[in-house]
Protein backbone atom coordinates (compact mmCIF):
# COMPACT_ATOMS: atom_id res chain seq x y z
CA UNK A 1 0.00 0.00 0.00
CA UNK A 2 2.92 2.35 0.73
CA UNK A 3 4.08 2.00 -2.89
CA UNK A 4 0.57 2.77 -4.11
CA UNK A 5 0.40 5.93 -1.98
CA UNK A 6 3.71 7.19 -3.32
CA UNK A 7 3.44 5.99 -6.90
CA UNK A 8 3.34 8.94 -9.30
CA UNK A 9 1.79 6.76 -11.95
CA UNK A 10 -1.03 5.62 -9.65
CA UNK A 11 -1.64 9.21 -8.57
CA UNK A 12 -1.79 10.38 -12.18
CA UNK A 13 -4.38 7.81 -13.21
CA UNK A 14 -6.50 8.48 -10.12
CA UNK A 15 -6.54 12.18 -10.98
CA UNK A 16 -7.39 11.35 -14.60
CA UNK A 17 -10.29 9.16 -13.45
CA UNK A 18 -11.61 11.97 -11.23
CA UNK A 19 -11.55 14.44 -14.11
CA UNK A 20 -13.24 11.94 -16.43
CA UNK A 21 -16.12 11.35 -14.00
CA UNK A 22 -16.39 15.08 -13.35
CA UNK A 23 -16.68 15.60 -17.09
CA UNK A 24 -19.35 12.91 -17.21
CA UNK A 25 -21.45 14.62 -14.55
CA UNK A 26 -21.18 17.99 -16.29
CA UNK A 27 -21.91 16.53 -19.72
CA UNK A 28 -24.99 14.75 -18.40
CA UNK A 29 -26.31 17.52 -16.15
CA UNK A 30 -26.62 20.30 -18.74
CA UNK A 31 -28.79 18.49 -21.33
CA UNK A 32 -30.60 16.46 -18.63
CA UNK A 33 -31.96 19.49 -16.80
CA UNK A 34 -32.63 21.28 -20.10
CA UNK A 35 -34.78 18.34 -21.24
CA UNK A 36 -36.60 18.07 -17.89
CA UNK A 37 -37.40 21.79 -17.82
CA UNK A 38 -38.49 21.79 -21.47
CA UNK A 39 -40.85 18.88 -20.85
CA UNK A 40 -42.22 20.75 -17.81
CA UNK A 41 -42.93 23.83 -19.91
CA UNK A 42 -40.16 26.10 -18.58
CA UNK A 43 -39.29 28.85 -21.09
CA UNK A 44 -36.01 28.50 -23.01
CA UNK A 45 -34.79 31.85 -21.64
CA UNK A 46 -35.31 30.71 -18.02
CA UNK A 47 -33.89 27.31 -18.95
CA UNK A 48 -30.72 28.97 -20.20
CA UNK A 49 -30.51 31.28 -17.20
CA UNK A 50 -30.75 28.31 -14.85
CA UNK A 51 -27.85 26.61 -16.64
CA UNK A 52 -25.57 29.54 -15.79
CA UNK A 53 -25.58 28.44 -12.14
CA UNK A 54 -22.82 25.92 -12.78
CA UNK A 55 -20.55 28.60 -14.20
CA UNK A 56 -21.45 31.25 -11.65
CA UNK A 57 -20.11 28.83 -9.06
CA UNK A 58 -16.83 28.29 -10.90
CA UNK A 59 -16.44 32.03 -11.48
CA UNK A 60 -17.21 33.15 -7.93
CA UNK A 61 -14.78 30.73 -6.28
CA UNK A 62 -11.96 31.06 -8.86
CA UNK A 63 -10.07 34.03 -7.28
CA UNK A 64 -9.83 32.16 -3.97
CA UNK A 65 -8.49 28.88 -5.37
CA UNK A 66 -4.79 29.72 -5.48
CA UNK A 67 -4.37 30.86 -1.84
CA UNK A 68 -6.55 27.97 -0.58
CA UNK A 69 -4.48 25.47 -2.57
CA UNK A 70 -1.20 26.88 -1.24
CA UNK A 71 -2.47 26.71 2.35
CA UNK A 72 -4.07 23.26 2.44
CA UNK A 73 -2.57 21.38 -0.53
CA UNK A 74 -4.06 19.35 -3.36
CA UNK A 75 -5.76 16.46 -1.56
CA UNK A 76 -8.06 18.41 0.83
CA UNK A 77 -9.24 20.65 -2.01
CA UNK A 78 -10.08 17.63 -4.21
CA UNK A 79 -11.92 15.93 -1.34
CA UNK A 80 -13.91 19.09 -0.62
CA UNK A 81 -14.82 19.57 -4.28
CA UNK A 82 -15.81 15.94 -4.77
CA UNK A 83 -17.94 15.86 -1.63
CA UNK A 84 -19.77 19.02 -2.69
CA UNK A 85 -20.53 17.58 -6.14
CA UNK A 86 -21.77 14.23 -4.78
CA UNK A 87 -24.06 15.78 -2.15
CA UNK A 88 -25.47 18.23 -4.70
CA UNK A 89 -26.20 15.49 -7.25
CA UNK A 90 -28.07 13.45 -4.65
CA UNK A 91 -30.08 16.53 -3.64
CA UNK A 92 -31.65 17.13 -7.07
CA UNK A 93 -34.43 14.51 -6.64
CA UNK A 94 -35.43 15.96 -3.25
CA UNK A 95 -37.27 18.99 -4.62
CA UNK A 96 -37.96 19.96 -8.23
CA UNK A 97 -37.72 23.74 -8.28
CA UNK A 98 -35.96 26.05 -10.74
CA UNK A 99 -34.57 28.14 -7.88
CA UNK A 100 -33.46 25.14 -5.79
CA UNK A 101 -31.81 23.43 -8.76
CA UNK A 102 -30.07 26.71 -9.62
CA UNK A 103 -28.49 26.78 -6.15
CA UNK A 104 -27.42 23.14 -6.53
CA UNK A 105 -25.80 23.97 -9.87
CA UNK A 106 -23.88 26.83 -8.24
CA UNK A 107 -22.59 24.40 -5.59
CA UNK A 108 -21.58 21.89 -8.28
CA UNK A 109 -19.74 24.68 -10.08
CA UNK A 110 -17.78 25.45 -6.90
CA UNK A 111 -16.97 21.77 -6.45
CA UNK A 112 -15.93 21.32 -10.07
CA UNK A 113 -13.66 24.36 -9.91
CA UNK A 114 -11.94 22.93 -6.83
CA UNK A 115 -11.56 19.55 -8.56
CA UNK A 116 -10.24 20.86 -11.86
CA UNK A 117 -7.87 23.50 -10.56
CA UNK A 118 -6.31 21.21 -7.97
CA UNK A 119 -5.97 18.15 -10.22
CA UNK A 120 -4.65 20.16 -13.17
CA UNK A 121 -2.11 21.98 -10.99
CA UNK A 122 -1.06 18.71 -9.31
CA UNK A 123 -0.44 17.04 -12.67
CA UNK A 124 1.40 19.97 -14.26
CA UNK A 125 3.56 20.61 -11.19
CA UNK A 126 4.68 16.98 -10.77
CA UNK A 127 4.97 15.74 -14.35
CA UNK A 128 8.53 15.55 -15.72
CA UNK A 129 9.13 17.93 -18.60
CA UNK A 130 9.55 15.16 -21.17
CA UNK A 131 6.07 13.78 -20.29
CA UNK A 132 4.26 17.04 -19.59
CA UNK A 133 2.62 17.38 -23.01
CA UNK A 134 1.52 13.75 -23.04
CA UNK A 135 0.07 13.96 -19.53
CA UNK A 136 -1.87 17.15 -20.25
CA UNK A 137 -3.24 15.62 -23.46
CA UNK A 138 -4.43 12.53 -21.57
CA UNK A 139 -5.92 14.79 -18.89
CA UNK A 140 -7.84 16.79 -21.48
CA UNK A 141 -9.02 13.72 -23.36
CA UNK A 142 -10.25 12.09 -20.16
CA UNK A 143 -12.50 15.05 -19.48
CA UNK A 144 -13.70 15.06 -23.10
CA UNK A 145 -14.49 11.34 -23.00
CA UNK A 146 -16.45 11.74 -19.79
CA UNK A 147 -18.23 14.84 -21.04
CA UNK A 148 -19.10 13.09 -24.31
CA UNK A 149 -20.50 10.05 -22.50
CA UNK A 150 -22.64 12.16 -20.19
CA UNK A 151 -25.43 13.02 -22.68
CA UNK A 152 -25.85 9.33 -23.54
CA UNK A 153 -27.30 8.78 -20.07
CA UNK A 154 -29.97 11.49 -20.42
CA UNK A 155 -32.58 8.96 -21.75
CA UNK A 156 -32.47 7.29 -18.30
CA UNK A 157 -34.85 10.07 -17.32
CA UNK A 158 -37.55 8.22 -19.25
CA UNK A 159 -37.15 5.23 -16.92
CA UNK A 160 -37.09 7.11 -13.62
CA UNK A 161 -36.45 10.86 -13.42
CA UNK A 162 -33.97 10.78 -10.48
CA UNK A 163 -32.03 7.84 -11.97
CA UNK A 164 -29.44 9.87 -13.97
CA UNK A 165 -28.61 11.96 -10.87
CA UNK A 166 -28.16 8.83 -8.76
CA UNK A 167 -25.96 7.08 -11.35
CA UNK A 168 -23.75 10.15 -11.70
CA UNK A 169 -23.40 10.52 -7.92
CA UNK A 170 -22.40 6.87 -7.51
CA UNK A 171 -19.73 7.14 -10.23
CA UNK A 172 -18.36 10.32 -8.63
CA UNK A 173 -18.28 8.61 -5.22
CA UNK A 174 -16.30 5.65 -6.59
CA UNK A 175 -13.67 7.87 -8.23
CA UNK A 176 -13.55 10.28 -5.27
CA UNK A 177 -12.92 7.48 -2.75
CA UNK A 178 -9.54 6.68 -4.36
CA UNK A 179 -8.24 10.14 -3.36
CA UNK A 180 -8.02 8.95 0.25
CA UNK A 181 -5.19 6.63 -0.86
CA UNK A 182 -3.03 9.52 -2.05
CA UNK A 183 -0.42 11.38 -0.05
CA UNK A 184 -1.09 15.11 0.05
CA UNK A 185 1.10 17.54 -1.87
CA UNK A 186 1.39 21.30 -2.33
CA UNK A 187 2.56 23.54 -5.16
CA UNK A 188 6.08 24.86 -4.95
CA UNK A 189 6.34 28.30 -3.34
CA UNK A 190 8.99 30.60 -4.78
CA UNK A 191 9.97 34.00 -3.40
CA UNK A 192 11.95 35.37 -6.32
CA UNK A 193 9.17 35.78 -8.88
CA UNK A 194 8.91 39.35 -10.09
CA UNK A 195 5.09 39.34 -9.75
CA UNK A 196 4.89 37.52 -6.40
CA UNK A 197 4.46 40.71 -4.37
CA UNK A 198 1.51 42.01 -6.40
CA UNK A 199 -1.15 39.80 -4.87
CA UNK A 200 -3.79 37.77 -6.69
CA UNK A 201 -5.51 40.64 -8.49
CA UNK A 202 -2.24 42.36 -9.33
CA UNK A 203 -1.05 39.18 -11.05
CA UNK A 204 -4.41 38.92 -12.81
CA UNK A 205 -3.98 42.43 -14.20
CA UNK A 206 -0.43 41.76 -15.40
CA UNK A 207 -1.41 38.45 -17.05
CA UNK A 208 -4.40 39.98 -18.85
CA UNK A 209 -2.28 42.83 -20.18
CA UNK A 210 0.25 40.38 -21.62
CA UNK A 211 -1.89 37.56 -23.03
CA UNK A 212 -5.52 38.72 -23.25
CA UNK A 213 -5.77 37.36 -26.79
CA UNK A 214 -5.10 33.83 -25.52
CA UNK A 215 -8.11 33.95 -23.19
CA UNK A 216 -10.56 34.39 -26.08
CA UNK A 217 -10.45 30.74 -27.27
CA UNK A 218 -11.31 29.36 -23.78
CA UNK A 219 -14.06 32.00 -23.50
CA UNK A 220 -15.44 31.00 -26.90
CA UNK A 221 -15.25 27.30 -26.07
CA UNK A 222 -17.14 27.90 -22.83
CA UNK A 223 -19.86 29.69 -24.80
CA UNK A 224 -19.93 26.88 -27.37
CA UNK A 225 -19.95 23.95 -24.96
CA UNK A 226 -22.50 25.36 -22.52
CA UNK A 227 -24.92 26.61 -25.17
CA UNK A 228 -24.74 23.33 -27.12
CA UNK A 229 -25.42 21.22 -24.06
CA UNK A 230 -27.92 23.46 -22.30
CA UNK A 231 -29.84 25.15 -25.14
CA UNK A 232 -29.39 23.00 -28.25
CA UNK A 233 -31.48 20.17 -26.72
CA UNK A 234 -34.33 22.67 -26.25
CA UNK A 235 -33.93 23.92 -29.83
CA UNK A 236 -33.70 20.35 -31.19
CA UNK A 237 -36.82 19.23 -29.35
CA UNK A 238 -38.67 22.13 -30.94
CA UNK A 239 -37.41 20.87 -34.29
CA UNK A 240 -39.07 17.51 -33.46
CA UNK A 241 -35.77 15.67 -32.96
CA UNK A 242 -36.03 12.79 -30.48
CA UNK A 243 -34.34 13.10 -27.07
CA UNK A 244 -32.22 9.99 -27.65
CA UNK A 245 -31.02 11.35 -30.98
CA UNK A 246 -30.13 14.69 -29.38
CA UNK A 247 -27.85 12.75 -27.03
CA UNK A 248 -26.16 11.09 -30.01
CA UNK A 249 -25.69 14.47 -31.75
CA UNK A 250 -23.97 15.94 -28.68
CA UNK A 251 -21.86 12.81 -28.20
CA UNK A 252 -20.78 13.05 -31.88
CA UNK A 253 -19.34 16.50 -31.21
CA UNK A 254 -17.32 15.17 -28.26
CA UNK A 255 -16.15 12.16 -30.31
CA UNK A 256 -14.85 14.49 -33.02
CA UNK A 257 -13.01 16.53 -30.40
CA UNK A 258 -11.38 13.46 -28.88
CA UNK A 259 -10.27 12.17 -32.29
CA UNK A 260 -8.29 15.31 -33.19
CA UNK A 261 -7.07 16.61 -29.84
CA UNK A 262 -3.58 15.12 -30.05
CA UNK A 263 -3.11 15.72 -33.82
CA UNK A 264 -4.08 19.39 -33.48
CA UNK A 265 -1.76 19.77 -30.51
CA UNK A 266 1.16 18.31 -32.48
CA UNK A 267 0.30 20.49 -35.48
CA UNK A 268 0.30 23.59 -33.28
CA UNK A 269 3.84 22.72 -32.13
CA UNK A 270 4.92 22.69 -35.77
CA UNK A 271 3.10 25.63 -37.39
CA UNK A 272 2.19 27.75 -34.37
CA UNK A 273 -0.75 28.00 -32.02
CA UNK A 274 -2.17 31.10 -33.72
CA UNK A 275 -2.35 29.43 -37.13
CA UNK A 276 -4.03 26.28 -35.83
CA UNK A 277 -6.54 28.31 -33.81
CA UNK A 278 -7.50 30.31 -36.90
CA UNK A 279 -7.94 27.12 -38.95
CA UNK A 280 -10.01 25.53 -36.15
CA UNK A 281 -12.27 28.52 -35.52
CA UNK A 282 -12.94 29.34 -39.18
CA UNK A 283 -13.41 25.65 -40.06
CA UNK A 284 -15.79 25.12 -37.16
CA UNK A 285 -17.80 28.21 -38.10
CA UNK A 286 -18.10 26.98 -41.68
CA UNK A 287 -19.37 23.56 -40.59
CA UNK A 288 -21.93 24.95 -38.14
CA UNK A 289 -23.07 27.41 -40.80
CA UNK A 290 -23.52 24.58 -43.32
CA UNK A 291 -25.32 22.44 -40.73
CA UNK A 292 -27.96 25.16 -40.26
CA UNK A 293 -29.28 24.40 -43.75
CA UNK A 294 -29.71 20.67 -43.06
CA UNK A 295 -30.73 20.53 -39.39
CA UNK A 296 -34.05 18.82 -40.12
CA UNK A 297 -32.00 15.77 -41.17
CA UNK A 298 -30.95 14.46 -37.76
CA UNK A 299 -28.38 11.93 -38.94
CA UNK A 300 -26.73 14.45 -41.25
CA UNK A 301 -26.61 16.79 -38.26
CA UNK A 302 -24.76 14.06 -36.36
CA UNK A 303 -22.10 14.07 -39.09
CA UNK A 304 -21.87 17.88 -39.06
CA UNK A 305 -21.45 17.94 -35.28
CA UNK A 306 -18.71 15.31 -35.45
CA UNK A 307 -16.88 17.40 -38.07
CA UNK A 308 -17.31 20.58 -36.02
CA UNK A 309 -15.92 18.79 -32.97
CA UNK A 310 -12.83 17.85 -34.94
CA UNK A 311 -12.15 21.53 -35.58
CA UNK A 312 -13.21 23.37 -32.43
CA UNK A 313 -13.24 20.62 -29.79
CA UNK A 314 -9.64 21.40 -28.83
CA UNK A 315 -10.11 25.17 -28.63
CA UNK A 316 -9.77 25.27 -24.86
CA UNK A 317 -6.53 23.27 -24.69
CA UNK A 318 -5.09 25.17 -27.66
CA UNK A 319 -5.93 28.40 -25.84
CA UNK A 320 -4.01 27.22 -22.78
CA UNK A 321 -1.01 26.35 -24.97
CA UNK A 322 -1.28 29.75 -26.70
CA UNK A 323 -1.31 31.44 -23.29
CA UNK A 324 1.81 29.51 -22.29
CA UNK A 325 3.54 30.72 -25.47
CA UNK A 326 2.87 34.36 -24.57
CA UNK A 327 3.05 34.40 -20.77
CA UNK A 328 6.24 34.89 -18.70
CA UNK A 329 6.97 31.76 -16.70
CA UNK A 330 6.33 33.39 -13.32
CA UNK A 331 2.76 34.21 -14.42
CA UNK A 332 1.87 30.80 -15.88
CA UNK A 333 -0.18 29.67 -12.83
CA UNK A 334 -2.16 32.91 -12.96
CA UNK A 335 -2.63 32.54 -16.71
CA UNK A 336 -3.90 29.01 -16.25
CA UNK A 337 -6.45 30.18 -13.67
CA UNK A 338 -7.54 33.03 -15.97
CA UNK A 339 -8.16 30.55 -18.78
CA UNK A 340 -10.59 28.80 -16.46
CA UNK A 341 -12.25 32.10 -15.55
CA UNK A 342 -12.59 33.02 -19.24
CA UNK A 343 -14.17 29.62 -19.87
CA UNK A 344 -16.64 30.25 -17.04
CA UNK A 345 -17.56 33.70 -18.38
CA UNK A 346 -18.23 32.21 -21.81
CA UNK A 347 -20.20 29.41 -20.22
CA UNK A 348 -22.31 31.97 -18.38
CA UNK A 349 -23.11 33.88 -21.55
CA UNK A 350 -23.75 30.85 -23.75
CA UNK A 351 -26.92 29.40 -22.17
CA UNK A 352 -28.44 32.80 -21.40
CA UNK A 353 -27.83 34.38 -24.82
CA UNK A 354 -28.63 31.09 -26.53
CA UNK A 355 -31.91 30.86 -24.65
CA UNK A 356 -32.83 34.40 -25.66
CA UNK A 357 -31.90 33.62 -29.27
CA UNK A 358 -34.15 30.54 -29.38
CA UNK A 359 -36.97 32.41 -27.67
CA UNK A 360 -36.99 35.57 -29.77
CA UNK A 361 -35.11 34.86 -33.03
CA UNK A 362 -37.63 32.53 -34.61
CA UNK A 363 -36.84 31.68 -38.21
CA UNK A 364 -33.08 31.74 -37.60
CA UNK A 365 -31.09 28.60 -36.87
CA UNK A 366 -29.47 28.38 -33.44
CA UNK A 367 -26.36 27.03 -35.16
CA UNK A 368 -25.86 30.39 -36.88
CA UNK A 369 -25.30 32.00 -33.48
CA UNK A 370 -22.50 29.49 -32.80
CA UNK A 371 -20.95 30.08 -36.23
CA UNK A 372 -21.00 33.86 -35.76
CA UNK A 373 -19.30 33.64 -32.36
CA UNK A 374 -16.51 31.40 -33.70
CA UNK A 375 -15.92 33.67 -36.69
CA UNK A 376 -15.75 36.74 -34.44
CA UNK A 377 -13.04 35.25 -32.22
CA UNK A 378 -11.11 33.95 -35.23
CA UNK A 379 -11.20 37.42 -36.81
CA UNK A 380 -9.80 39.03 -33.63
CA UNK A 381 -6.96 36.49 -33.48
CA UNK A 382 -6.14 37.15 -37.14
CA UNK A 383 -5.91 40.89 -36.45
CA UNK A 384 -4.35 40.97 -32.96
CA UNK A 385 -2.76 37.59 -32.35
CA UNK A 386 0.96 37.01 -32.14
CA UNK A 387 3.22 34.08 -31.34
CA UNK A 388 5.91 35.73 -29.27
CA UNK A 389 6.44 35.10 -25.56
CA UNK A 390 6.48 38.34 -23.61
CA UNK A 391 9.56 37.90 -21.50
CA UNK A 392 9.77 39.54 -18.10
CA UNK A 393 13.30 40.59 -17.12
CA UNK A 394 14.66 38.47 -14.32
CA UNK A 395 17.85 38.64 -12.37
CA UNK A 396 20.72 36.50 -13.58
CA UNK A 397 22.26 34.08 -11.15
pLDDT of residue 191: 45
- Domain of 113, in residue numbers: 2-179+200-384
pLDDT of residue 188: 61
| Enclosing H/E stretch for 142 | helix 129-149
Residue 192 lies in a domain: no
Q: Which percentage of the chain shows pLDDT scores above 70?
A: 89
Distance between CA 372 and CA 369 in Å, rounded?
Answer: 5
Residue 186 lies in a domain: no
CA nearest neighbour of 277 among 313, 327, 241: 313
Distance between CA 208 and CA 214 in Å, rounded?
Answer: 9
pLDDT digit string, tens, across residues 213-252: 999 999 999 899 888 877 888 888 888 788 778 888 888 9
User: What is the domain count for the chain?
Assistant: 1
Residue 62 lies in a domain: yes
Residue 391 lies in a domain: no
Residue 101 lies in a domain: yes
Residue 138 lies in a domain: yes
pLDDT of residue 132: 57
Query: Phi and psi dihedrals of 159, rounded to 5?
Result: -85, -50
pLDDT of residue 388: 54
Per-residue pLDDT for 187 more than 50?
A: yes
Per-residue pLDDT for 140 more than 70?
A: yes
Query: Phi and psi dihedrals of 379, rounded to 5?
Result: -65, -40
Residue 184 lies in a domain: no
Work out the pLDDT band at 212, boundaries 50, 70, 90.
very high
pLDDT digit string, tens, across residues 364-397: 888 999 999 999 999 999 998 775 544 333 333 2
What CATH number corresponds to the domain at position 207?
Answer: 1.20.1250.20
Q: Give me the mean pLDDT over the 106-116 stretch.
A: 90
Residue 389 lies in a domain: no
Per-residue pLDDT for 186 more than 70?
A: yes
pLDDT of residue 83: 93
SS3 string of 207-264?
HHHHHHHHHHHHHHHHHHHHHHHHCHHHHHHHCCCCHHHHHHHHHHHHHHHHHHHHHH
- Considering 21-25, 138-142, 236-240, the range whose residues carry the highest mean pLDDT is 21-25
Per-residue pLDDT for 189 more than 60?
A: no
Q: Name the pTM for this structure.
A: 0.75
pLDDT of residue 223: 92
Work out the pLDDT band at 264, boundaries 50, 70, 90.
confident
Distance between CA 237 and CA 366 in Å, rounded?
Answer: 12
Question: Long-range contacts: 152-157, Cβ < 8 Å, 24+?
Answer: 152/247, 152/248, 152/251, 153/28, 153/32, 154/28, 154/31, 154/32, 154/35, 154/233, 154/243, 154/246, 154/247, 155/243, 155/244, 155/247, 157/32, 157/35, 157/36
- Considering 151-160, 172-181, 244-253, 350-359, the range whose residues carry the highest mean pLDDT is 172-181
Amino acid sequence: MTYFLRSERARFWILVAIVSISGFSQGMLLPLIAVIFEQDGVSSALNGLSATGLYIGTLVIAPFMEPILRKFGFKPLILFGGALVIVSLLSFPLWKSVAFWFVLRVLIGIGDQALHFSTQTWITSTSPQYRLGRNIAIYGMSFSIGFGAGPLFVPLVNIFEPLPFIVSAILCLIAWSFVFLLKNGSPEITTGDIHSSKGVFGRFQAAIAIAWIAFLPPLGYGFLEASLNAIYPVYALRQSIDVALVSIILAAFSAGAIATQLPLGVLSDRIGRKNVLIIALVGGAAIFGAASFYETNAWLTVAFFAGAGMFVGSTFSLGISYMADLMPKDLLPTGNLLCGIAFSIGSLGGPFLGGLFVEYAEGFSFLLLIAAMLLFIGFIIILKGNSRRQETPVSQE
